[in-house]
A and B are shown apart, each in its own frame.
Chain A
Amino acid sequence: MKKINRRDFACLGGAAAACGLTIGFPGVVRGAGRRVVVVGGGVGGCTAARYLRRMDPGVEVTLITAEPRYTACFMSNEVLSGERTLDSLTFGYEGLKKLGVQVLIDRVVGLDPVARKARTASGAILDFDACLVSPGVDFKWNSIEGYDEKASEIAPHAWSAGPQTIALRKQIEAMPDGGKVVIVAPRDPFKCPPGPYERASQIAMYCRHRKPKSKIVILDAKDTFSKQGLFVEGWTKLYGYGTDKSMIEWVSAANGGKVSAFDPTTRTVTTEFDKLQGNVVNIIPAQKAGKIAFEADLVDGDWCPVDKKTFESKRHRGIYVLGDACDAAKMPKSAYAANSQAKVAVAAIVARLKGREPGEASYVNTCYSIVGEEFGISVAGIYYLDAASNMIEPIKDSGGISPANASPEIRKREVSYAHSWLDNVIDDMLGGPA
C-alpha cells in the first residue's frame, strides 16, 4: 500500500480549495451538520458510534468497517474447546443502523487531518469534523523467522477471530490422543494479555475429556504473565500442573521459552536451547497498531500516542485513536478497555463540537478468563488520569485479580459472569440484539 502524503491526498480529493475553509482546531463550533467518521467496526469503533448518536443525536456518524459482520475475538477460545461456535460470536451492524449510524463496508486508506477528510479503498471521500480510529492490532510478521502470513495457514495465530479460529479448532480436533499442542505466546504489549493462557486452559478442557494423553506446551517470550497465580491454581486443580502427568507445561523466557524461528514444513519451532515439533502449532506473533494507524501517520513506534484525557492523537489534532491500537498505559489492551475508552473519547468530542472543554474521564477494565467448565477468574481495574504524566493510573486499593483459593462456588459464578460480560459488551457496542 502506497503511503499517502497529505498534499497528494488533498489533490486526490480535488478539494485543495476547501482545505482553507475547514482548517481549524477541535474547539471550533460548526453548528449543524457536524460529522464524525469512525474507522473500525470492533469494540472501540462500534461503542463510539453508538454513544456518539446517544450523547449528541445531532452528530452525523459514519462507521467504516472492512467486514459486513463483526466477529468477536473475546470468548473465541471457547470455540477451540468446542464450547461454542464461531457463529455465536458473529453479529451484524443492524442495531447501530437503527440508531442512525451510517455503516459503510469499505476500508479507509488515507486520513487528512488538516483538510479533515477520509479516503476509502473504493475511492469515497468523507469529510469529518472529528475522526475516531480504532483499527485494533496488526501482526509483526517474521518477528519469528519463517512465520509470515502464509505460514499462519499451517500454524494459525487465531488472534483475530474468523477463519483462523476455525482452522485452529479443526487441527485440534484432528490431533490424535497423545498429540502435542505448542502455543507460542508473544512479548508485551499485545491484545488480550491473559488470552494465551486461557487458550491453553480451554484446549486442556477439551483434551481432558477427548484426548487425555495429549500435552499443551506454552513457549513464552516473557517470564511472567497476566493472572499467573490464578491460572496456575486452576491448572494445578484441573490439569495436574506441577506433576509429571501435567497436561499443561509453561516454559518461561528464562527457561528457554523464547521462540526464534518456525519451520512450516515440519511444524517445528526453534527456541534458545531446543527444537520442538507440535501436532498443532499456534503462534501468536508480536503485535503493533492496525494498518491505517501507520498509513495515517498516527504511530510513534508500534502504537499510537494519545492525550489520555480525550484519546486525541498526539500526532494529529482532530483524530482520536482508541482501543488496542493506542498507547493507553496503564490500561491493558482489552475489549472492556476499548469500550470504556470509546465513551471517554466520545464525551470529549461531543464537548468540543459544542465548544466546551472535555470533562474528567473515568475508565474501567474488567476481563474474565475461563480456566475450566466451573473455574472462572477475573481482573478489574478502575482508573483515573494522572494529567501530569498522561498516565491512566489504577485507583489505589481498588481492582485487582480474583482472590487466590476462592471457593468452588465463587469460581463457578465467575464463569457465569464471564458469559454475562460477553453478552452485555456486545449489546452495549452494537446497540441492541443483532
Chain B
Amino acid sequence: MSYRRFAAVASKEMIQIIRDTRSLIIVILMPIILVLLFGYGVNLDVKHVPVYVFDREGSQQSQDLLKRFQASEYFRLIRAVDSYPKLVRAIDDGHAKLGLVIPPDFSQRLRSGQPVSVQAIVDATDDNTANVAVNYSQAVVNGFSQDVQIEWLRDRGVTFTGLPLNVEARTWYNEDLESSAFIVPGVLALVMSVIGAFLTSLTIAREWERGTMEQLVSTPVTSLEIMLGKLVPYFVIGMFDVAVCTALALLWFKVPFRGSLMTLFLCSALFLIVVLSLGFFISVIAKNQLAASQIALIATFLPAFLLSGFLFAIEQMPTVIQYITRMLPARYYVSALKKIFLKGTPATMLYGELVPLTIFTVVLATIATRAFHKRLV
C-alpha cells in the first residue's frame, strides 16, 4: 500500500465533497439541525395538560378541589363547561386531554360522610401523557381527600396530622429530569449513522452507477487504497461532527458532561468505523442510489433511532427484540454516550460497550474489504 496513492484518492474525494455545496452544507449543518431538532422538539415531560371541567355542583368545596388542579403545574384548566356532551366533544376533538366531572351532590355527600368519587376522563390515545396525568390527578385528589378528612375529624375533636410518609424522590445523573440531557447525547449516534452510512453509501453508489469506480479500479491504485481513500475523508468529517454536536450539547443545551472527552472520541471513532464499513458494504451490494439509501436507512438509521435505547428503553422491549438489539452496534454506542455524558463512567468501566464495538469494527471492516475485492474480480 502506497501512502501517495492513498492520499491522492483521499484528496480527490475531499475536493468532491467540498465542491458540491449541498454535501458540504449537509455535513456541517446536519449535525447542528439534528441536535436542535431533538433538543427542542423532544420533551416527554408532562406539563400543562389541558383540562376541561364539568362542575355539576359549583359549591365552595368543589371549587377548592379545582383550585388544587389549577395550582399544579401539570394541569391547565382551560374551560368550565355546563353539560356532559360538551365535555365529551372537547375530549373527542382533542381540546382537552383530561375532563373532570364533579357530581351534583359533592359537598352534601362530604358533609354526611359518604364517599364521593370525582370522574376523570382521560384521552389515552397518547398513553404516556395519559398515564402520567392519571397519576398526578390521583395525587391531587388524595391530598384533597386527606385534608378534608383531617379537618372533619378535627371538628369532632380528633387530631391527626398529615400523611405519615414523606417521599423524597431523587433523580440521579439527570437531576431536573431534562429530556434534552437524555436525548441530546444519543443524537450523536444518529448523526454518525447518517454521515457514515447514508451519505457514504450514496456517494459511492453513485460512482458505481456512473462507472467512475471502474475507471478508478483500472488505475494502479489497489483496492485497499481506494477503500481507505474513500472512507478517510468521511471519517474526518464524522469526527468533526462529533466535536460540533458535543459543543452544541454542552454550550447550548447545557447537558452535563461528567466523563472524559478522550473516551468520548474513542467510542465515536470505533462506531464511526463500524458505520463507514457498513455504508461501504451497502454501496458495494446495492449498486443503485435509491436502493443504497433505503438499505442504509433500514440498516443503520432506523436501529440507531429505535433500537439503540436512544428514545425507547431497551429493557421494556419484547425479549426477542432485546436479543436483536445486542447485535446492533448503535446500542453499545448510545449506552456508552449516556454513561460518558451523564454518569461520568471511566473508560475502564465501559468494557461492556468498548469490547462489542471493537469486535464490530474488526468484523465489519473485514466484510466490507472482502465484498469489495469480490466485486472487483
Whether A and B are associated in the same complex: the answer reads: no
**A residues whose Cβ falls under 8 Å from a Cβ of B:** none
* B contact residues vs A (CB 8 Å cutoff): none
